[in-house]
Amino acid sequence: MTTAESQPTSPAPSSSSTEIAWSDDARRAAFAQWLAVQAAAHGLDAASVRPASADASFRRYFRVDAADGRGRSLVIMDAPPSHEDCRPFVQVAGLLGAAGLNAPEVLAWDEAQGFLLLTDLGARTLLAELQAQDFSTREGLKVADTLYRGALDALIGLQKIDAQAQVPAYDRALLRRELDLFPEWYVARHCGVTLDAKQTEQLEKCFELILKTCEAQPAVLVHRDFHSRNLMVNADGDATRPGILDFQDAVWGPVTYDVVSLLRDAYIGWDEAIQIDWAARYWERARKAGVPVQEDFGLFWRDLEWMGLQRHLKVLGIFARLSHRDGKDGYLKDLPKVWRDAHHVAMRYSVLTPLARLLEQLGDVKAEDGYTF
């Protein structure tokens, strides 16, 4: 193994302050009343509630301690029903838990108000654990290898869940809506570029190729955000059961989606040789477990790259939208890593050359030929 290419990450909200900000006094009062009930029912110290984290949606998370003083804590999700539907979260949490995966257990849920009490998987993400390692040492590389193997094993467990009838389909329409975020938010809004007729036609052809490749893949349960910021490292050091978060958007779709989400996520990069090694180990174990991966690893890797390209283009659009529409500029620091991943694949396959040239124009990068297929 060689060293990782560590990228700046979107900073997690600080939990050093115990003050929780509320823009709605009525919701503040409703939360206080709900918390008092849960404190009595679950033995919580209501005065200990404090910010834990937030994500790219309207959800917020708080941490609250048990009143017995033994260091146990629980997590509260604040998800306003006007913006967030918690039913998918509760449903998928049940599916993951029933499969023996390490996901939060829902202890209490006020569906009408959007408050949930959850078991606490800890505060140490896979990303934070990786960033704490020294990859110039054998020990640091060994830690990374152990963590990624554990994450990929957990993913196989997730993919074995028969949930086709219980989650939405990751169909062509959804894949296309995600791709459309790229020209709307990244190209037009973020880069300020208006595509001419030829560029629009070429981009449409590339989109069609991407969609066909993704649609042709075998389908499994897809987490849809299986990466280093949504996986938690267990405090007991058990790397085989990472905590799994942010699974509420799970769908039934392409088998390579979550693999490439992890190996080429937006926040930390690895040499391709390392990616291939981890992907091959996953592929071997997935085949033995009955996960419907391609019989040929070369075809599996090609599917993974094209699926990753769909995701990279979507993420470029999402991060741009988070900045320009929602005022969350922290994600802009992660755009260069995502751009490089998208460009890497577009350069590799000759039929995607127009997309590579467009990315070079947007990134103000000199054009070069580098495709291998």
DSSP sequence for 81-128: TTT---HHHHHHHHHHHHTT-----EEEEETTTTEEEEE---S-BHHH
CA distances from 62 to 57, 131, 139, 221 (A): 15, 24, 34, 28
Does residue 350 belong to any structural domain of this protein? yes
pLDDT tens sequence for the chain (373 residues): 445 554 333 334 334 446 899 988 999 999 999 999 999 999 999 999 999 976 656 889 999 999 998 889 999 999 999 999 999 999 999 999 999 999 999 999 999 999 999 999 998 999 999 999 999 999 999 999 999 999 999 999 999 999 999 999 999 999 999 999 999 999 999 999 999 999 999 999 999 999 999 999 999 999 999 999 999 998 777 778 999 999 999 999 999 999 999 999 999 999 999 999 999 999 999 999 999 999 999 999 999 999 999 999 999 999 999 999 999 999 999 999 999 999 999 999 999 999 999 999 998 765 554 544 4
pLDDT at res. 55:
62
For residues 180 and 85, state if they share a domain. Answer: no
- Cα 354 to the chain's mean position, in Å? 28
pLDDT at res. 229:
95
For residues 94 and 199, state if they share a domain. Answer: no
pLDDT at res. 366:
57
pLDDT at res. 53:
78
Tokens of 335: 């755009």
**Structural element, H or E, at residue 243:** strand 243-244
- For residue 269, what are the domain limits? 126-363
Which CATH number is 110's domain given? 3.30.200.20
Query: CA torsion, points 28, 31, 37, 39, in degrees to nearest 10?
Result: -90
For residues 136 and 45, state if they share a domain. Answer: no
Spatial contact of 62 and 50, defined as CB atoms under 8 Å apart:
yes
Does residue 14 belong to any structural domain of this protein? no
Cβ atoms within 10 Å, residue 169: 12
Phi and psi at 133, nearest 5°, equal: -90, 155
Spatial contact of 203 and 358, defined as CB atoms under 8 Å apart:
yes
For residues 45 and 159, state if they share a domain. Answer: no
User: Looking at 119, 141, 163, which one is the last position of a domain?
Assistant: 119
User: Looking at 54, 89, 119, which one is the last position of a domain?
Assistant: 119
pLDDT at res. 344:
97
For residues 59 and 207, state if they share a domain. Answer: no
Phi and psi at 145, nearest 5°, equal: -60, -45
Judged by phi (left if over 0) then psi (alpha if -120 to 50, else beta), residue 100 lies in: left
User: Looking at 101, 119, 137, which one is the last position of a domain?
Assistant: 119
Looking at the 3D structure of the chain, how many domains does it have? 2
Strand partners, 6: 268
pLDDT at res. 321:
97
Which CATH number is 217's domain given? 3.90.1200.10
